[in-house]
Amino acid sequence: MRLLRVATCNLNQWAMDFDTNLRNVKESIVRAKAAGAVVRIGPELELTGYGCEDHFLEQDTTAHAWECLKDILSGDYTDNILCSIGMPIIFKSVRYNCQVFCLNRNIIMIRPKMSLANDGNYREFRWFSAWSYKDKLVDYQLPVDVSEAISQETVPFGYGYIQFLDVSLAAETCEELFTANAPRIDLAFSGVEVFMNASGSHHQLRKLNLRIDSIRNATRLCGGVYMYANQQGCDGGRLYYDGCCCIAVNGDVVAQGSQFSLKDVEVLDALIDLDAVSSYRACVSSFREQASHVTKVPCVNVQYKLCQTFHNGMIPTDPIEIMYHCPEEEIAFGPSCWLWDYLRRSRASGFLLPLSGGADSSSVAAIVGCMCQLVIKDIEKGDEQVKVDAMRIGQYKDGEFPTDSRELAKRLFYTVYMGTENSSEDTRSRAKRLAEEIGSFHFDVPIDSVVSAFLSLFERFTGKRPLYKVDGGSHTENLGLQNIQARIRMVLAFMMASLMPWVHNKSGFYLVLGSSNVDEGLRGYLTKYDCSSADINPIGSVSKQDLRAFLRWSAVHLQYSSLAEVEAAPPTAELEPIRTDYNQLDEVDMGMTYEELSIYGRLRKIFRCGPVSMFQNLCHRWCGRLSPSEVADKVKHFYKYYAINRHKMTVLTPSYHAESYSPEDNRFDLRQFLYNTAWPYQFRKIDQLVQDIDKDGKWEDSTDMQLRERRAVRSAQGSGMGVVAAGSANPSAGL
């Protein structure tokens, strides 16, 4: 029996902070060695941080990475342990994303990434090139200072594997796990037993199962050991890397790390029986036949043993049950950890949130409250780094540290209700009760006098005073009156964030939190430069439907009972006067439901539908509920206002990325922001299709449609399209 103890890790790296990154890498190696591991894998580009973006184009970034690697190799960190360390490397004037394999203070091999991630949030081709040579390893000349430090001039560079005396190992890097012609296939046929994947994979709601399934299937089909390492935390941008490092053997997961955590370093280890891999492969005849005809893969031979032989007390690690969080937990923990990293790394003293008592701002408040709870739990568990950060941010005196989440929230979280004559007592009281449950320092600030001052100024130089629609005003007047309230709140929020610490004799500044959701961004149902404009937004990529579910969950699990009442209340902006015969409601203002918005968003982004294909898709899915002309009206209405308001996405507050149909304009959803809002060609095409359908006179009955919907739900479960039950009475059902 060949037994091999391996270790993987989650590291909370920070782009361009080489001190932090190097410290975390060293700590992970030390912990791996302490556990008895002889193989250690770290995250992708761990020395620089994955999110350096255009900093990768700077020669300094690569040079500093080499300096950090030299530091590691100059000590005893790699003694008796094979370490894979991620960093950028320039070879013959071409930059590659690499894993560097080190053992006993030498570099054994450098493996450049072969399949680059270049969709969604990823732009690797902007900074790196993919290695394309599979038939040979080439010599890489080490930098002079590194060469002199470790007494080594060259190292094998390229695609291949490392053959030790008792085990063979090879690398995959992040995206290569998900490619159709993955490197591990030929490597497995060449006898490689251990695959080491260095990843920089970000959180997205309902995504983890796809990643875990890919890891399990990688070893279920080919056999072998799969070690997966990932970053965890906010490394300087909109993404939260959600860790979940793991180790799988022959299709079973034997170790799984946390998905959401405040820890800087988390190390997992497992004892693996490599003979079980050989046995697993040898019993599959098709694998044997394919392996016997495979093209030879280059390798590096190392005269060194990594395995142990069996002796009493050594038991291979058993498979475990995989831990998945429900979407409500993902919304609670992911943005909470992202906010904590942002808070401690920005050197801010806390957060300020305009709390309206509505679902969106209440969700943000609950996330901050959850963050405070997580901090207290980690302090109780003995995490010294979290304790030190909390003491600094909360400005505790010597010897004092937080022990209660509400007391901590009082120190670092301001909430402010900015009411007008259009605000209801219901939202005011809900905001106050939620603030008390969380523990925030709460303000109730009437802003009518400020609104009145602006209107008086406007009247003084124009001679006109606008009226609300319910008082006989035009649409233009009504919109202008709403916008001035919203924008005053933004200005006041930033003023309070900068000055309230001074008022309370605190140092530093507070970060303003935004609270617009992904559906409002998609529709443009927000005022440009209102309270949606902030420093950061933890829910900007979360749908209204998911937020309502999160509120129900939080009322119970976070023990913020007032959130149940918040969730039950109909969404309203409260920017128009309240009348006995009129109450402003979001869905009425938008001309569509949030449920429909979510459907439009998924079709537009995930299924890449334009107006015509969206109409065709929804005609089938809403058959029996809406006529083709009604579907056409809905699609046109959505695209009209999407086009009118797309410019707002250019100034959208940086938001936590959580949803696959986010309209975020910075990197994820790249489109123009000046449209012909009439969509003349596309809408004519839709009108012609409606006429053709009506002329044909054939339309599927509801029984046939239900069968189609069930098929659509089954085929779309992995993309989030199956969230509405087929057969629902709601017109937006079927997706």
Active site residues: 44, 113, 174, 356
Closest CA to 630 of 660, 607, 596, 601: 596
Extract the tokens encoding 542. 């979360």
Report in angstroms the alpha-carbon separations of 418 from 22, 213, 442, 492, 603: 45, 47, 11, 9, 37
Alpha carbons within 13 angstroms on the beta-carbon side of residue 694 total: 11
Angle between helices 384-394 and 359-380 (to 10 degrees): 130
CB 178 within 8 A of CB 214: yes
As to burial, measured by CB atoms within 10 angstroms (0-12 exposed, 13-18 middle, 19+ buried), residue 513 is: buried
Task: Please give the Cα distance from 383 to 337 (Å, whole number).
Answer: 15
Strands 413-417 and 441-444: parallel
Closest CA to 101 of 227, 189, 250, 233: 227
3-state secondary structure of 36: coil
Task: Please give the Cα distance from 368 to 433 (Å, whole number).
Answer: 15
Give the count of beta carbons closer than 10 Å to the beta carbon of residue 647: 15
Q: What is the DSSP string of 208-274?
A: HHHHHHHHHHHHHHH-SEEEEEEEEE-SSSS--EE---EEEETTEEEEE--SS-S-SEEEEEEEEEH
Check residue 627 and give left, alpha or beta (phi > 0: left; psi -120 to 50: alpha). Answer: beta
Task: Please give the Cα distance from 306 to 221 (Å, whole number).
Answer: 25
Task: Please give the Cα distance from 146 to 151 (Å, whole number).
Answer: 8
3-state secondary structure of 605: helix
As to burial, measured by CB atoms within 10 angstroms (0-12 exposed, 13-18 middle, 19+ buried), residue 506 is: middle
CB 621 within 8 A of CB 734: yes
Per-residue HEC secondary structure of 531-571 comes to CCCCCEECCCCCCHHHHHHHHHHHHHHCCCCHHHHHHHCCC
Task: Please give the Cα distance from 359 to 546 (Å, whole number).
Answer: 11
Strands 510-512 and 225-233: unpaired
